[in-house]
Structures are given as structure tokens and as C-alpha cells.
């Protein structure tokens, strides 16, 4: 049993629960045009902002542990920050440092993988997202790894590149693939052969999460490992051809395989090879990792053959389950999270979302820990997501999640309830503005029901978000002007925004214990301290300050 929280002496908690509502991907827009979160009909959210204590919180860059304030926040680091109440150096920043100081190349795993392919004269494979979005990966990391591989005497490298179009421009793939092809050509010589071997859109192959659609992983395996699929002579040819045929944006392009002059795939994975997944974010890395690491008991799909390779991730993706078994850079060690403190203090907790964000209110919120801190005090509920494009069903499972939350509130069993509405983020990523308007209205209708339940139970609700997205739906140039496509319509923006997010304290039992003016200039890591105080406890001394100014 760890350390419990100390009671707060100047505040008596409300008789009902503290409810933390996380509106995934709902920020405070900088521009009126393209702000789907603001333009949508959201009467309840508007009323909360107007009549209850409200502030804005930083949700990107250094406020969530990323290297630079030009880096977009994301759901992983956002929920880490919310759940642990502090800011930890995160994926991209840790890999940047490990490359800069050379520790990534001094480590046992890197040297083991290099030695393997030098001994077998095999290939060193790299799989990951080909962009600089800094959410799942960064192309500079791949360049450093490939360059070092050549320096250390590796003779053959193969790249399996996933198209982004989600954390970067929706049709920006060639801005990354073409220069990278040139980079590989410049490195290649009589002793070093480096080529792109396969690819496909990130929402079509490989990068599934939360066991939502294993067919994506199966297609990725067939493409990257077996070299099965539609063939092209180059990634450039593949991307241009598939765009014309499908009219899809990058994230939705079908898989492709690169073949040589003999018509054979240039980069199948064979016995004696080494394989590195260079994505640093964990949620969309776990399933393809399981396909490589699981033994004969793997039953998600028929792998057809299982090459004997040395496999590693650039980071550890699940610290509790120790996936992968080998990794190049250790992840942040996130300890003493809010959920752990609440368990130590005997607080009963309930967590719910649909599949798309279920791991965020559990695994990421708990500091990249898969298991519960207490089976007795914690309840997890997952609402299965629909396996359809989000723009076709933008309301997603908001109503069903709301049903679960209201049931938990009415039960009287829980003192702290947290949930996530994925709509603003998942629908925002589609780039379809009308769908975002529908998604936000559906979210608001559900929030209306929870607001009523909180009031009836005598509880308090904190409404916030993990990062922005739906608030910034149009691509803009450096001057802030909307980019217009050839058909005269605005170019869609499918990535997260750099905008702050709202923080609203809905407290119908308010008795004047704190100022109605909330603190400003804080980040989303302050949500933990806020909820802890509203539960009647003192936040740990090293937690970031609550938004509440107590009298």
C-alpha cells in the first residue's frame, strides 16, 4: 500500500461524485473560420462556459513534455499529464536526447540488432510513420538510425513507410517520401543498399489500436513481412497512382509493395534479419509488435510464416506487460499517478470510454500501466466502437458512454468518475467539417444528460480536453490565410491544433469556498490537482497547482 493523500481541512466534499469529462480533441480556436467546435450547436457547453468558472489550459508542446511549443499535443501525452499531475519528458523528446548523446547507439539492443545482420548478411528493417508530426514518430529519428546503420557496417536496409495525412497535411506524403528517397540514394553505394520496400495509409494497415480492427494489422503483415500486395517500382509511383484511383487522403491509401526489375519484392522479412519499429508512441504500436513477438499461441490472424528476426521498438510501449521485449530508448517512468493516490486513499473510481479512447482513460491515464491499482476500488468499462469510418457515424458512441456514466453517478458507488468523448478528435481527423459539426452537437447532447445527473446527485463536474483538433479544421499558410483547393473549397486540416483547451468547473452546490475566477497560465496537468481538491484531499506537493483559488 502506497502513501495516501492528506485530507483538505478547509473544504467539505460534495455529497455526489467528482466527474471528469474529457472532450477529446476540443480546443479553443484561434480563428473563427474552421472552428468546428465553436460553430457547432452546443447549447450546454456554451451555457457552462458562460455561467460557471472557466479558464483555458495549455495542452501542447512543453506543457505536456514535448520538445518544443511548436509540437502538437496528442491523446497519449495529454492523458499522461492529466493522470499524473506533472509533466514528464515524452517520446519524441526522449528519443531526441538519446540520439543527441549517443546513448541509443551505445545500448545493448541496438548493438545486438546490428551484430545480427552483419553476421547473417541479412537486412535491417525499419517500420513506422513517415512524417515529422512528432505524435507517433519523427522522420529525423529514422534518418539518424539509417545513417548509423551504414556507419556500423550494415549492408542492407529496408524501409516500410506508413503514410500519415493525420498529424500532418492530409496529402503531404510526397513531401516526406520523395526527399527520403533522395536521402537513401545518396547514402547507398557499393557497400550499402537502402530502399523503401512497402507502405500504405496508417488507417488502412498496421497501426490499429485497442484491438479495434486486427484486419489492419493482418494487411500490414502481408505487406511489410510477406511482400504481398499491389506492386510498384517506387513509393512515388505508388502514392500518385493510388491517389488518382481512390481519391483518398494519405491516411486512407491502400497498401503497396515495391518490386525490383525482376518483379520481386525488394524487402520481404527473412530469417536472420533485424526489425525496428521506429514509432515511439505506444497505442498503435502494440498490435504489430504482438504479431512479431507472440509465439505459436498467436491467433489474431494467420501469419503464414514467422521469420526468425531480432525485433525491437524504439521505445517500450507497455511498461506493465513489457512490450516489446527489446527497445532502444527507455520510456519515462511515470509514478505516483492520481489513480494510484486515490486508491491508496480508499477512493472508489470509475473509468469509461468507447474502444477508440478506452486505453486513454485507463492505460495512459495511469502512467502507461495496463492493470488496475485495485480491483476492489477501480471499475473499467469499455463501450465497443463501431468499425465504420468516423465521418459516417460522427456521433460515435457518445450516447452509450453517457448511459454508463449516468448509471455510475446514480449508483452512488463511486467518488470519482472519469470518461472520454472521442468525437472531437476522431471525427476531426477525417477533415470533414460537416461531420465535425454533427460530432460536437452529439457530444453536447450527451453532456446535457450528464450535467443533469451531476446536479441531481449533488456532485461536481470538471469539463476539459486533452488537446485541440475540431477547433482548427482548415489548413493555413504561414500568414494564417486559409489554403484554398482547386475546386475553391478550403483545404482540410486533419491534425491536432496548437490551441489551448477549456477547463470548466460545474459545481451546483458551490458555497463560495473558492474564487469564481480560475487560475490562468496552467497546463492540463493541473486537472489532477483540481480533481483531488474537489474530492477533499490535498494534492501531492510536486503536483502542478489546481485551477482553484481557495479562500
Residue burial 238-249, b: 16+ Cβ < 10 Å; e: rest: bbeebbeeeebb
Contact call for residues 103 and 119 (beta carbons, < 8 A): no
What ranges make up the beta strands (E) of 342-390? Answer: 349-354, 378-383
The three-class DSSP label of residue 280 is coil
Judge whether 164 and 174 are in contact, CB under 8 Å. no
CB 262 within 8 A of CB 256: no
- The SS3 call for residue 408 is helix
Do the first three CATH levels of 6-87+333-538 and 92-329 match, i.e. the same topology?
no
Cell numbers 474552421 label which residue?
34
At residue 451, the pLDDT reads 98
What CATH code is assigned to 6-87+333-538?
3.40.720.10
Instruction: Name which CATH class applies to 92-329.
Output: alpha beta
**Average pLDDT of 303-307?**
97
Q: To which residue does cell 504479431 refer?
A: 291
> What's the rounded Cα separation, in Å, for the pair 202 and 475?
20
C-alpha cell, 202 = 496508417
Span 134-178, pLDDT tens digits? 889 999 999 999 999 999 999 999 999 999 998 999 999 999 999
Report the candidate in 320, 366, 357 with the shortest Cα–Cα distance to residue 84.
366
User: Mean of the per-residue pLDDT values for the chain?
Assistant: 95
What is the DSSP code string of 463-492? EE-SSBSTT--B-B-TTSPBPB-TTSSBPB
CB atoms within 10 A of CB 185: 11
For residue 88 the three cell numbers come to 514528464
Q: What is the pLDDT of residue 320?
A: 55
CB 431 within 8 A of CB 45: no
Report, as an integer, the average pLDDT of 283-306: 94
Q: What is the 3-state secondary structure (H, E, C) of 16-61?
A: CCEEEEEECCCCCCCCCCCCHHHHCCCHHHHHHHHHCCEEEEECCH
d(C-alpha 246, C-alpha 172), whole Å: 16
Spatial separation of the C-alpha atoms in residues 345 and 348, rounded to whole Å: 9
Q: Which letter does DSSP use for residue 12 in this model?
A: P
Which residues are the active-site residues?
A: 75
Distance between CA atoms of residues 551 and 546, nearest Å? 14
In this prediction, residues 125-134 reach a mean pLDDT of 96
pLDDT of residue 354 exceeding 90: yes
Return the residue matching grid coordinates 483545404: 491
Cα 534–Cα 368–Cα 111 angle in degrees, nearest 5: 155
Q: Cell match 546490428: residue?
A: 114
- Mean pLDDT, residues 88-99 taken together: 89
Residue 518 has pLDDT above 80, yes or no: yes
pTM of the model: 0.75
pLDDT in tens, 206-238: 999 878 899 999 999 999 999 999 999 999 999
Sign of the C-alpha dihedral computed for residues 151, 157, 163 and 164 taken in this order: negative
Angle in degrees, 0-180, between the axes of helices 75-84 and 526-534, rounded to the nearest 10? 40
Q: Which of 32, 35, 24 is nearest to 472 (CA)?
A: 35
What are the tens digits of pLDDT across the range 389-444?
Answer: 999 999 999 999 999 999 999 999 999 999 999 999 999 999 999 999 999 999 99
Lowest mean pLDDT: which of 91-95, 102-106, 217-221? Answer: 91-95
pLDDT band at 89 (very low <50, low <70, confident <90, very high): confident
Inter-residue contact 290 to 325 (CB < 8 Å): no
CB atoms within 10 A of CB 188: 15
Map out the domains of the chain as residue ranges. Answer: 6-87+333-538, 92-329
Percent of the chain predicted with pLDDT > 70: 99
Residue 83 in 3-state DSSP?
helix
In the chain, the percentage of residues whose pLDDT exceeds 90 is: 89
173-196 average pLDDT score? 98
61-74 average pLDDT score? 86
Whether the Cβ atoms of residue 19 and residue 450 lie closer than 8 Å to each other: yes
Which residues pair with residue 195 across a beta bridge? 158
So what's the pLDDT on residue 1? 61
pLDDT for the residue 319: 61
331-341 pLDDT, tens digit per residue, is 777 999 999 99
Measured from the Cβ of residue 253, the count of other Cβ atoms closer than 10 Å reads 27
pLDDT at 282: 82
- Locate 305 and state its grid cell: 510464416
Flag whether pLDDT at 294 surpasses 60. Answer: yes
| Over residues 366-375, mean pLDDT | 92
Q: How far apart are CA 184 and CA 370, in angstroms?
A: 38
Is residue 275 predicted with pLDDT exceeding 70?
yes
Whole-number Å distance between alpha carbons of 193 and 210: 36
Confidence check: pLDDT of 58 > 90: yes
Strand ranges for 282-340 from DSSP E: 310-315, 327-329
Q: Within the chain, how many helices (H) and strands (E) appear?
A: 17, 17
pLDDT computed for residue 433 by the predictor: 97
Rounded to 10 degrees, what is the CA torsion of 26, 31, 32, 38? 10
Amino acid at each position: 500500500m502506497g502513501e495516501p493523500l492528506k485530507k483538505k481541512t478547509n473544504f467539505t466534499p460534495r455529497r455526489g461524485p467528482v466527474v471528469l469529462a474529457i472532450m477529446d480533441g476540443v480546443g479553443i480556436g484561434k480563428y473563427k473560420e474552421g472552428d468546428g467546435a465553436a460553430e457547432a450547436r452546443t447549447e450546454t457547453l456554451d451555457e457552462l462556459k458562460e455561467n460557471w468558472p472557466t479558464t483555458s489550459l495549455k495542452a501542447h508542446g512543453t506543457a505536456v513534455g514535448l520538445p518544443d511549443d511548436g509540437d502538437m499535443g496528442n491523446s497519449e501525452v495529454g492523458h499522461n499529464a492529466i493522470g499524473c499531475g506533472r509533466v514528464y519528458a515524452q517520446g519524441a523528446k526522449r528519443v531526441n536526447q538519446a540520439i543527441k548523446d549517443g546513448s541509443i547507439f551505445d545500448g545493448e539492443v541496438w548493438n545486438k540488432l546490428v551484430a545480427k545482420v552483419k553476421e547473417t548478411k541479412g537486412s535491417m528493417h525499419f517500420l513506422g510513420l513517415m512524417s515529422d508530426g512528432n505524435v507517433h514518430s519523427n522522420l529525423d529519428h529514422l534518418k539518424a538510425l539509417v545513417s548509423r546503420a551504414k556507419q556500423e557496417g550494415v549492408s542492407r536496409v529496408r524501409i516500410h513507410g506508413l503514410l500519415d495525412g493525420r498529424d500532418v497535411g492530409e496529402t503531404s506524403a510526397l513531401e516526406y517520401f520523395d526527399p527520403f528517397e533522395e536521402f537513401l540514394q545518396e547514402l547507398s553505394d557499393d557497400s550499402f543498399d537502402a530502399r523503401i520496400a512497402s507502405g500504405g495509409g496508417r488507417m488502412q494497415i498496421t497501426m490499429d489500436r485497442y484491438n479495434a480492427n486486427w484486419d489492419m494489422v493482418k494487411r500490414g503483415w502481408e505487406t511489410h513481412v510477406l511482400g504481398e500486395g499491389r506492386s510498384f517500382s517506387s513509393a512515388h509511383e505508388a502514392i500518385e497512382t493510388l491517389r488518382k484511383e481512390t481519391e483518398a487522403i494519405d491516411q486512407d491509401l491502400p497498401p503497396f509493395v515495391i518490386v525490383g526489375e525482376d518483379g520481386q519484392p525488394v524487402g520481404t522479412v527473412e530469417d536472420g534479419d533485424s526489425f525496428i519499429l521506429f514509432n515511439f508512441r505506444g497505442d498503435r504500436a502494440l498490435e504489430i509488435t504482438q504479431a512479431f513477438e507472440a509465439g505459436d499461441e498467436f491467433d489474431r490472424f494467420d501469419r503464414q510464416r514467422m521469420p526468425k528476426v531480432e525485433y525491437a521498438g524504439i521505445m517500450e510501449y507497455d511498461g506493465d506487460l513489457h512490450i516489446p521485449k527489446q527497445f532502444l530508448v527507455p520510456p519515462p517512468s511515470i509514478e505516483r499517478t492520481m489513480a494510484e493516490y486515490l486508491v491508496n486513499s480508499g477512493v472508489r473510481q470509475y473509468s469509461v470510454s468507447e474502444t477508440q479512447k478506452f486505453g486513454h482513460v485507463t492505460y495512459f491515464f495511469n502512467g502507461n500501466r495496463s492493470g488496475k491499482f485495485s480491483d476492489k476500488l477501480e471499475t473499467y468499462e469499455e463501450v465497443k466502437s463501431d468499425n465504420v469510418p468516423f465521418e459516417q457515424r460522427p456521433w460515435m458512441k457518445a450516447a452509450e458512454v453517457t448511459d454508463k456514466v449516468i448509471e455510475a453517478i446514480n449508483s452512488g458507488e463511486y467518488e470519482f468518475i472519469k470518461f472520454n468523448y472521442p468525437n472531437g478528435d476522431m471525427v476531426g481527423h477525417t477533415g470533414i467539417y460537416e461531420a465535425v459539426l454533427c460530432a460536437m452537437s452529439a457530444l453536447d447532447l450527451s453532456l446535457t444528460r450528464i450535467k443533469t445527473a451531476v446536479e441531481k446527485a449533488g456532485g461536481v463536474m470538471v469539463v476539459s480536453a486533452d488537446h485541440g483538433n475540431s477547433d482548427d479544421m482548415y489548413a493555413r499558410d504561414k500568414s494564417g490565410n486559409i489554403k484554398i483547393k482547386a475546386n475553391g473549397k478550403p483545404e482540410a486540416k486533419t491534425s491536432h491544433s496548437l490551441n489551448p483547451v477549456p477547463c470548466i468547473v460545474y459545481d451546483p452546490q458551490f458555497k463560495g469556498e473558492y474564487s469564481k475566477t480560475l487560475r490562468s497560465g496552467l497546463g492540463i496537468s493541473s486537472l489532477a490537482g483540481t480533481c483531488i481538491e474537489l474530492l477533499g484531499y490535498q494534492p501531492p506537493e510536486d503536483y502542478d497547482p489546481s485551477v482553484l483559488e481557495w479562500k
